[in-house]
Amino acid sequence: MREPLQGSVRHQPRARVALSAALASGPSHAYLFRGSRGAGKAGAARAFAAEILAADAADPEDARRRALLDPSPHPDLVWLTPPGAQHMVDEVRERVIRAASYRPFEGEKRVFVIEAAEAMRDESQNALLKTLEEPPEFVHLILLSSEPEALLETIASRCQPIDFAPLPPEAVEAQLAGAGSPDAISAAARLSAGDPSRARFLLSDAGRQLRAAALGWGREVGAASADAARRDSDEISAGATGASGTVSGESAPTSPTGAPLLKAAETAGEEAEDATRKALEEEAEAGVKRSAKDMTDEAKRAGRRRRTEVLDLGLELVASWYRDLAAVAAGADEAVFNQDRLDELQGQAADLDPNRPRHAVELVEDTRRRLDLNVSEELALEALAFRLAAVLA
């Protein structure tokens, strides 16, 4: 196989085997590249499309070179990226569904790539269904998705799946050279879940603030729990507790709230909303027709989506702190994600039962699932703080 495709799937052996076989036997009409963000789906799709277009071209090397450019000037490669939180219905209809009926401008093939396919509305997906069912023989469609469960089953079932695993930490680290100290880069790579863009965010000012808020909350809940446990032990030893377990006349200690996480998520959401609104206004000035209401709704959706993403990432970082506490308490320092906080972890994990932070991780993950059900975020984080305090004390 040619080097461009080899390089694009260097860390994806399963995808490399599947795509190699497809090129050898003849590509299918539709593929679904599915896997976590940052796993290399877009690069693999571009390289795969370049090989398809080069196969029957008069000048294969030139066709391949143009198809690999980003953006590509090759007339038979159509690449669709959502302008905001969602793909525009009209754009899917015009640039993919209708365009797929036109013969190739060069060679014998046309390739259509839909990035973030899960961002297509149901109307777009239903309209695309006929093209997937009865495509012209010269058409190949490649759908990229980090959330394939958001696609209609009728869409996913008509595509050949190509799975992409998260990148290993060392591969992410290689893309972050010079972005921070070695320890900070190592921590960001391990915390990124194989997504280089997430790792870069964690090394940015906004990412560092979010991580500081998340880890600070995790430390504070643990410290408050330990202080409460010590006070209870001292009071019991002195015979000073009443039936409720608190000193007469005193109230139970309060747990730190998740307000810093909510504030960070709110700020990120506002920035995303403003950026999306500005981009849509620029497109309107360039001639793209959208109503003021559509632009406002699109910007708000982008803001809500980013707010949710950042809050979820913040909770994931909180869980990483308790995961690392369990690892250190069990004597597995080498397994720590937050390598640049190892000294702090060792201090808080002293004489700690590893089962307690492990249970804390489960509580955080349970809260992340609850937030998917549109429960009150503020109340959910407050309840989580008290549950964590009870487990860690």
Task: Read off the pLDDT of residues 170-205 as tens digits, 9 standing for 90 and up.
Answer: 989 988 988 888 889 999 999 998 899 899 999 999
pLDDT above 70 as % of the chain: 88
Q: Could you report the per-residue pLDDT of 296-345, keeping only the tens digit for each?
A: 888 888 888 888 889 999 999 999 999 999 999 999 999 999 989 999 99
Say whether pLDDT at 2 is over 90.
no
Kindly calculate the radius of gyration of the chain based on its CA atoms and give it in whole angstroms. 25
Note the pTM of the prediction, 2 decimals: 0.71
Domains, the chain, ordered by start:
3-165 (3.40.50.300), 204-239+254-392 (no CATH)
Write the DSSP string, 170-222: HHHHHTTTTSS-HHHHHHHHHHTTT-HHHHHHHHSHHHHHHHHHHHHHHHHHH
What is the bridge-based pairing of β-strands 139-145 and 160-164?
Answer: unpaired
pLDDT higher than 70, residue 386: yes
Q: Binning pLDDT at 50, 70 and 90, where does residue 253 land?
A: very low
Rounded distance between C-alpha atoms, residue 198 and residue 188, angstroms: 8
* Bridge partners of residue 143, in order along the sequence: 32, 114
Burial of 177 (0-12, 13-18, 19+ CB in 10 A): exposed
